[in-house]
Amino acid sequence: MIPKRIHNYLYILSFFSLFLSCQKNDSLVEKKTKNNTEVERLITVAGSFTHKNTDSAFYYYNKAKLISTPSENAENYVRVLNKMANLQLGLGDYAGSETTITEAIPYLHNIKNPIHLWNTYTTLGSTYLFIGDFNNAFLFYNKALALETNQEKKLEAKNNIATVFREQKKYDEALQIFYTLLNRQEVIKNPIYYAETLDNIGLCYLKIKNPEALQYLNQGLKIRKEINDQLGTGISYLHLSEYYDKAQNSDIAQKNGIASYKIFTELQNVDNRLLALKLLIKNSSNNDLKKYSLLYVNLADSIFEARQKAKNQFARIKYDSKKEKEENLKLKTHKAENELKLERQKNRNAISYVVIALTLCLVLVLYFYLTSKANREKIEAAYNSETRISKKLHDELANDIYHTMAFAENKNLALAENRSQLLHNLDAIYSRTRDISKENCIITTNENYIVSLKEMISGFSTSKINLILNGLDTIPWNQIDRNKKITVYRVLQELLVNMRKYSEATLVGINFKKTDKNVVIHYTDNGKGIDTDKMIIKNGLHNVESRIVKIKGKVNFTSSINQGFKVTFKFPI
């Protein structure tokens, strides 16, 4: 019994220790969660500036990057680098874009979401395409195509690969892909993609001087105008201007060039404005030539200045952030030292808790050991009781029965006095048997307790012994604990048995009384009394005292030789 309980409480202790050790892990998890939440917030703020203020967008993306932990959340880290590289790419900072996006490469193996991988490979491919590194552009666009993404992403990857072929002047390979795309239902049903593919085919034909170029370019322009795709319409006009320039039709080339220039001016698309101005310069003369040339020079200068400024700004943001990070690192180091001290104190506290828990566990083990010992003592008491009953049966009943049997065999039962003596002996045997039975019977403690107690007490009343019982019904027995009821029963039984055996009393009084918190019981008889100095040794009255003490009660004995016997005991309700 004890080992099992020890096991249970050791299990509780181990759980308590595990709880203490997990507190640190819980705080780390909470810290990671807060960090991820802050990264998401900064990404959202940066996204709100993307089309308004590129510098601010880059600043917040860079801030998100600095607090990201790529080893723990690679997806957030790579996503932020993609955003930053695309901003640099859009402002012509191709070297800066390449530097930024290549920081993501070591962490790509930790990415589970293929969209983040696709974005990274596409950004890398676009960066290398702009700087003329076609081999790397082709490599990363193919990596993007190989990923398990949706159909739209796969079509876009194929379009990017065809664009690389076109820039490499591999027009047949490019046309093969563009025609494949043109026949796809996904492209046919999407007018933007369909018009773009037609325009790309027309551009390839333009480069190889195939007269079918005009048909595809015009078809693409028509669709783009119908769906009000301004950027696409401007590109179509630009390619038509280039077509008519090669066809040496300056008027139509100029007309298309002007149309594309106006659209790109409205859209503030400076790169395509420059391309449009180049074509206008080639197909203009006199004042128009001068006007477009000045526009081109001023625009090229402003673009160069703006992009140089943007590059410097991006570099400054990175530098300032790096400096700020170093300063924060120093503060974090100082903070970490303080946290280490606190952690050591926590560990000391934890050890104290464990020691206290161990102490409590030992106390519990001791408690259950003592409880088990008490149970063993109860078992031994029951055994002793059985032995005592057996001894009584042998010493008292067996001898009486033997003498009665001998009397019946040797005496003439025809005589009235012999029959009377036999009946007297049998009555004595019956009385002894009943007394032993009552001493060891099961006691009723339910609503019939009062009846049972009365029957037990009245059983000691004889023609020579008068019993007076007062106040039994005034006690709220239903509010009293079962063990206390049993104790009252056994104590009164013990007193009455001793009375009949030893006191030679003729009058017995038992009075019950309830006070505020206690039940008080007075027992009195007019027997020969006993010497109180010897009553613990004799007559088994020590059982009475021990029973009362066990229910947290008190008992008082009053007696002297030939002066009767009095017992008063009380116990809390």
| Residue 513 within a domain | yes
Q: Is the pLDDT of residue 43 over 70?
A: yes
| Residue 378 within a domain | no
Region of poorest pLDDT, from 46-55, 245-254, 392-401: 392-401
Residue-wise DSSP of 3-51: HHHHHHHHHHHHHHHHHHHHHHHHHHHHHHHHHHHHHHHHHHHHHHHTT
Region of poorest pLDDT, from 132-146, 357-371, 416-430, 472-486: 416-430
Region of poorest pLDDT, from 96-100, 246-250, 320-324: 320-324
Q: How far apart are CA 265 and CA 249, in angstroms?
A: 24
Query: What are 222-281's pLDDT values in tens digits?
Result: 999 999 999 999 999 999 999 999 988 999 999 999 999 999 999 888 888 899 999 999
Query: What are 339-356's pLDDT values in tens digits?
Result: 888 888 888 888 989 999
Give the side-chain half-sphere CA count within 13 A for 83. 28
Q: How far apart are CA 166 and CA 141, in angstroms?
A: 14
Q: How far apart are CA 486 and CA 475, in angstroms?
A: 15
| Residue 46 within a domain | no
Position with higher pLDDT, 197 vs 10: 197
Region of poorest pLDDT, from 58-72, 223-237, 327-341, 494-508: 327-341
Nearest alpha carbon to residue 222 among 198, 257, 205, 243 = 198
Structure tokens at 243: 């077509």
Q: How far apart are CA 259 and CA 278, in angstroms?
A: 14
| Residue 218 within a domain | no
| Total of domains in the chain | 1
Residue-wise DSSP of 231-275: HHHHHHHHHHHHHHHHTT-HHHHHHHHHHHHHHHHHTT-HHHHHH
| Residue 169 within a domain | no
What's the whole-number average pLDDT of the chain?
84
| Contact residues for 12 (Cβ-Cβ < 8 A; gap 6+) | 361
Q: How far apart are CA 101 and CA 136, in angstroms?
A: 13
Q: Is the pLDDT of residue 16 over 60?
A: no
Task: Fill in the amino acid letter for 47.
Answer: G
Burial class (CB in 10 A: 0-12, 13-18, 19+), 26: exposed
Q: How far apart are CA 104 and CA 120, in angstroms?
A: 8
Residue 1 pLDDT: 46
Overall pTM > 0.95? no
> Residue 512: beta bridge partners?
521
| Residue 251 within a domain | no
Q: Find out whether 67 and 35 touch, Cβ atoms under 8 Å.
A: yes
| Residue 375 within a domain | no
Domain containing 470: what range? 444-572
| Residue 484 within a domain | yes
| Contact residues for 192 (Cβ-Cβ < 8 A; gap 6+) | 227, 229, 232
CATH classification of the domain holding 535: 3.30.565.10
What's the pLDDT band for 570 if we cut at 50, 70, 90? very high
What's the pLDDT band for 308 if we cut at 50, 70, 90? low
Beta-carbon count within 10 A of 78 CB: 26
